[in-house]
Structure 1
Amino acid sequence: MDELYTRVSSATKQVLYQHMKDNNISLLNYNFNHFFQYCIKKYKIQVISHHFSNYKIEGLTIVDELGISFSYEIDNPKVKQNFTLCHELGHFILEHEGIYFAESIENQESLLEREANIFSAVVLMPDIVLLSKIYYNCETFQRVQNSLEVSKQALLFRLLDFLREYYPDKDSEIKQAIETYIEGNNASIYRLFHDIREQIIGEFHQFQPSLINQVKQRVRKVGFVTSQEYPDLLNQDNWKAIMDESINLKIWLVYNKGKSIAYVWDKEKFSDKEARKKAELQLLLM
């Protein structure tokens, strides 16, 4: 597999897998839209539709003093729109230089467009999700295609690129396995996945939920956590990031007889006084 694909695929999984871990996203129920909407909200990106009568412009990205906007051809099939939206997000996340990007039939071979296409394919059909669906859940080609909301062509090329990365010298075997998989026989593609499954799983498990997201999810459930559960809360360098995550979160520290405990609470569930009392009680029990 060429260096371009490996580099962009790896960079994409760095941000995507961390997001999946932070949000405990189900592999079998994965859909790109969770990650896409998270990015749209985080970076305040405006998404709109457009229509050109010649259908030459599939997608547009504009980055200027007014902000960031993506647009897509409204008359395209839904699966094509999905690919375009992730493609445009790729220009932004991959930090491509420029203020204007246009996805068209005429520029598909440009370096930046190829990178955005790889990003889109990986976000729509992540390695770990393909392994889960095809190898462990034994889903048909059609079922995988429908659940991930992609076109037949997109899934076909994704499987080709994905398997070539692991088997650079087995091109004919890969093509034959995919062809028979499309026809309803998964034995050949199952064998290919079997030999690389540990690599795919290992790569995914290199990522762990961040402290911020662990704390946020826990507070969302019970309203209150302390450094007894998450010792890194004692490091005040982490406090700003935690409070920036939500206007409802507050964090503080109490001391007693040489011991200290940091605590985070949801101010809509506990008053400052109530939270402090809970922290002081835990401190006494330490």
Structure 2
Amino acid sequence: MKDHEISLLNYHFDYFFQFCIQENNIQVLSHHFSNHKIEGLTVVDGLGTSFSYERDNPKVKQNFTLCHELGHFILKHDGSYFAESIDNQENLVEREANIFSAVVLMPDIVLLSKIYYSCDTFHQVQNSLEVSKQALFYRLSDFLREYYSDNEGEATQAIESYIEGKNSFIFHLFHDIREQIIEEFNQFKPSLINQVKQKVRKVGFTTSLEYPDLLNQDNWKAIKASSINIKTWLVYNKGKSIAYVWDKEKFSDEEAKNKAELQLLLM
């Protein structure tokens, strides 16, 4: 979310999912079994990695399955073949993938933003995140259990009231833990490489005035490796310097240098 400057209220798992499959060249396919016994498959072989999902399942179930399969990949589960079925839900690896899926679909900070700050109803949260009623119920249960382990009954009652359209109980629970959730979210610092890459993708140019760590030339190699179109350099004058990054398809070397020198003069 931070790397791609995604609004918490507009968050949708597909931002992260699409980024992961594109970065890792993962193929996504649909399949169909008449008994719907196989919800999802992950196959890793010499041809690469592929995920598949039951095409006749509801969209919300497909979403959960896709994130579940991504979980096997991101969590580096040992194996080259994983099948999500109704028969193996208690398997440790499958449970880990389920937890991963739930968190990607419904991150802590997003739930806080929607339920506490935006005052969205249960159904509004469910619809905006494209998850099932059951998935959201269990996610909220697991989430609140983490903070209210000594009073699970109160948390369950709050969720049930929330489903019925009564927000005050769950609002109170979120109020007491909101600072912890925000602090945990703020501990994550966006990647310099991703920030610069996103900025250059949008406008074609950026400098160390916006990202001071660009002055550290040790970062340049990784930045240039992130895209074949990205170039980096540095200009200096009278003890002042600016490092700059540009998209060579949008600006020539001379144009980028002129832009950097202009900013240097204005310092």
Shorter-chain TM range is over 0.9
Does the alignment pair 1:117 with 2:83? no
User: Of 230, 245, 261, which aligns to 1:264?
Assistant: 245
Gaps of 5+ in 1: 1-19
**Equivalent position amino acid for 1:198 in 2:** E
Structure 1 residue 283: deviation in Å?
A: 4.0
Moved more, 202-211 or 253-262: 253-262
CA gap 1:53/1:186 in 2 versus in 1, 3 angstroms: same
User: Of 23, 41, 56, which aligns to 1:60?
Assistant: 41
Structure 1 residue 36: deviation in Å?
A: 0.5
CA gap 1:53/1:273 in 2 versus in 1, 3 angstroms: same
Gaps of 5+ in 2: none
Q: Tell me the percent identity.
A: 79
Does the alignment pair 1:199 with 2:180? yes
Q: How does 1:82-231 map to 2 (within 5 A)?
A: 82-231=63-212
Cross-structure match for 1:43: 24
Superposed CA RMSD in Å reads: 1.6
In the superposition, the TM-score normalised over structure 2's length comes to 0.94
Cross-structure match for 2:218: 237
Structure 1 residue 256: deviation in Å?
A: 4.4
Q: Secondary structure at the match of 2:2?
A: helix
In the superposition, the TM-score normalised over structure 1's length comes to 0.88
**In the TM superposition, what whole-angstrom CA distance separates every residue of 1:120-179 from its partner, at most 9, and x where no partner exists?**
000111111111111111111111111111111101111110000110011111111111
Distance 2:244 2:105 in 1: 38
Q: Secondary structure at the match of 1:101?
A: strand
Structure 1 residue 231: deviation in Å?
A: 2.3
**Equivalent position amino acid for 1:33 in 2:** D
Q: How does 1:2-81 map to 2 (within 5 A)?
A: 20-81=1-62
Distance 1:285 1:181 in 2: 55
Distance 2:166 2:210 in 1: 48
**In the TM superposition, what whole-angstrom CA distance separates every residue of 1:30-84 from its partner, at most 9, and x where no partner exists?**
1111110010101100000111122111100011111000001111111111000
Q: Secondary structure at the match of 1:169?
A: coil
Distance 2:149 2:56 in 1: 38
Q: Secondary structure at the match of 1:106?
A: coil
The total of aligned residue pairs comes to 267
The structure that is helix-richer by fraction is 1
Q: Determine which structure has greater relative contact order: mean sequence separation of CA pairs < 8 Å that are 6+ residues apart, divided by chain length.
A: 1
CA gap 1:34/1:255 in 2 versus in 1, 3 angstroms: same
Distance 1:283 1:133 in 2: 43
